Amino acid sequence: MCAAVEAAHERRLLHRDLKPENVFLVRAGDGETPKVLDFGVAKALDAGEGMASQVDTGTGQLVGTLAYMSPEQLQGGPPEPAWDVWALTVIAYEMLTGAHPFSGTGRPAHAAVLAGACTPPSRHLGDDARAWDALFAQALGPDPAQRPASSRELLARFEAAAAR
């Protein structure tokens, strides 16, 4: 999934609606390959002449699925690749724990997202998951400078946490 999102970003294309329902597993030989689908609300970033978004929206309009939106997207900020990286991080958390990172925080989900109040994965996985706590505390935290800058960086951080 990270490679697909990275390829889209290299082509200056923002998906804007990454969620589990838009990722399919395709059997190929003995394995499965994830495929990112539904670029119906994708937006071309820095669109030059002749490049247009599938869905042309202005700043401040929400497009996508609320449960996978970054704080900046929820606040109506300008589109940026970090939105897709945030959504990938939420999906990775869900795949690892079986739960949404902002459920069970005691706050409404959007307030928890804006505050960076992610439920530590160790709450779902036990104390042996402290490396995951650190990864997701940064990657889903309130400071965008602490989050992975790309899906490639997210994958590297994920692999490093998995190796601990």
- Told to judge if 84 belongs to the known catalytic residues of this protein, a careful annotator would answer no
The residue annotated as part of the active site, out of 17, 56, 84, 128, is 17
Which H/E stretch holds residue 137?
A: helix 130-139
User: Which sign, positive or negative, has the C-alpha torsion 116, 98, 135, 104?
Assistant: positive
Strand ranges (E), 1-152: 13-14, 23-28, 31-36, 43-44
Q: Measure the CA–CA gap between 33 and 102, rounded to whole angstroms.
A: 28
DSSP assignment letter at 84: H
State the number of CA atoms in the 13 A half-sphere of 25 facing the CB. Answer: 6
Q: Which residues have a catalytic role annotated?
A: 17
